[in-house]
Amino acid sequence: MVRLVRIFLRLQLVQLRSALEYRADFWIAAVGAILQQLVSIVFLLTFFGHVSSLGGWSLWQILVLQGLVMAADGIREMFADGVWKLRADVNDGSFDRVLVRPIPPALQQFTALASIHGIGNTSLGLVVLILGLARSGVDWTWWSVPVLVLTILCGTVLTASISFLTNMIAFWEPSAQSAFPTLVALMRDFAKFPLDVYGAGIRIVITVILPYGLISYYPSRLVLGVGDAPGWWVTTPLIAAGASALAASIVWRRGLNHYQGVGN
């Protein structure tokens, strides 16, 4: 296990070195990614220039939601973005190499890309999160910070598992474009706002099917003290991370079996 972690980190380091070869590109990508997130922030700031609360949430409390999602996804981008290369690898046969090395194929796929520019999103997310927390008048307890840290880490697992799952279509439909995985990934933007404002349909989707809500809304209500938040909600990030990781590993195994049965 330790050995796998070490190899994982070393593979990431290799990608980092590759990325640093193209320093200008790194900055452009980082800036671009941050600007994309900023659009959401600009909206919020403008919105709250005319309105003082949204579904009972203040601007600062909503910034907490934004920050949690951004940070979680940013970390995923830094460490597990290689899943977006799965389709290309399956199509040109490079995936074969993954099967003849004595380390888990999933680990190799995660490290196929290292989008180091994800550090931009992570930083922005943390800044936004801290800002939001500072101005929300939080009733700090001993578990506030651990819960937040847990939420972000579970959020990373969730977003990584979902993007992994959706990209596995490549096993069954190698010619499919990557628009579907991108579409699903973008659904996390719903979780950047309080789920109270949405209709029932979306609330269910974002809580149960694509449980982005479990790594933003529910833990936030607990920490920020918005409305009545039952204590067990502290486990919602764990549920999201666990369930999605389980689903991803099951489908991954199926996908590998399919690839080995059918070739390319």
Partner 1 sequence: MSPIVSAEGLVKRFRRPQKGPGLAGAVRHLLRPRHETVTAVEGVDLSIDEGESVAYVGPNGAGKSTTIKLLTGILVPSAGQVQVCGVRPHVDRQANARNISVVFGQRTQLWWDIPVLESFRLLGDIYSVPEAEYRRTMDELVDVLDLGPLLGVPARQLSLGQRMRCDLGAALVHSPRVLFLDEPTIGLDVAVKARLREFVGSMRAQRGLTVLLTSHDLGDIEELCPRMIMIDKGRIVYDGAFDEVTRRFGWEQKVVVTLADGGPDAATLAGAALARVRPVIEETATGLVVTFDSRLISSGEVIKELAVALPVVDLALEETSAESIVRRLYEGNLTFQPADHGATS
Partner 2 sequence: MTATTSDTPVRQGRTAPGSKYVSLARTTLQQAIAYRITTFFNVGLTFIWVIILYYLWRAAYSERASIAGLSWDQMRTYVVIAYGINALVGWRTGTAMMAAIRTGDVVFEMVRPLNYCTTQLARALGFTVVEGGISMIFTLVIGLAFLHIQAPASLASGLLFVLALIIGFLTKVLVVFLVSLLTFWTLNGMGLMWSQQAIMQILSGTIVPLALMPGWLQFVAKVLPLRGIVSTPLEFYLGNAGGWDAVGLIGLQAVWLTALWVVANLAWKRAFRVVEIQGG
Q: Which of 128, 122, 117 is nearest to 153 (CA)?
A: 122
CA distance 66 to 68: 6
Q: Which of residues 174-213 bind partner 2 (CB under 8 A)?
A: 177, 179-180, 182-183, 186-187, 189-190, 193, 196-199, 202
18 touching partner 1, by CB under 8 A: yes
In the list partner 2, partner 1, none, the entry touching 190 (Cβ below 5 to 8 angstroms by class) is: partner 2
Residue 126 burial (CB < 10 Å; 0-12/13-18/19+)? middle
DSSP string computed for 124-192: HHHHHHHHHHHTTT----TTHHHHHHHHHHHHHHHHHHHHHHHHTHHHH-TT--THHHHHHHHGGGGGG
Q: Which of residues 209-238 bind partner 2 (CB under 8 A)?
A: none
b/e sequence 108-124, b meaning 16+ C-beta within 10 Å: bbbbbbbbbbbbbbbeb
Cβ atoms of 195 and 220 closer than 8 Å: no
**Helix ranges (DSSP H) in 22-117:** 23-47, 59-80, 86-92, 95-99, 105-110
Helix (H, G, I), strand (E, B) or coil at 42: helix
Closest approach, Cβ 169 to partner 1, in A, equals: 16
Sketch the per residue contact string, 79 through 108, with partner 1: x for CB under 8 A, - otherwise.
--------------xx-xx-xxxxxx----
Closest approach, Cβ 17 to partner 1, in A, equals: 6
In the list partner 1, partner 2, none, the entry touching 96 (Cβ below 5 to 8 angstroms by class) is: partner 1
Cβ atoms of 61 and 226 closer than 8 Å: yes
245 touching partner 2, by CB under 8 A: no
Cβ atoms of 171 and 252 closer than 8 Å: no
Q: Which is nearer to partner 2, 148 or 221 (CB)?
A: 221
User: Which member of 11, 12, 33, 122 binds partner 2 (CB under 8 A)?
Assistant: 33
User: Which member of 4, 38, 209, 250 binds partner 2 (CB under 8 A)?
Assistant: 38
143 touching partner 2, by CB under 8 A: no
51 touching partner 1, by CB under 8 A: no
Residues that bind partner 1 (CB under 8 A): 3, 6-7, 10-11, 14, 17-18, 21, 93-94, 96-97, 99-104, 257, 260-263
Residues of this chain that interact with partner 2 (CB under 8 A) are 22, 24-33, 35-36, 38-39, 42-43, 45-47, 49-51, 54-55, 117, 177, 179-180, 182-183, 186-187, 189-190, 193, 196-199, 202
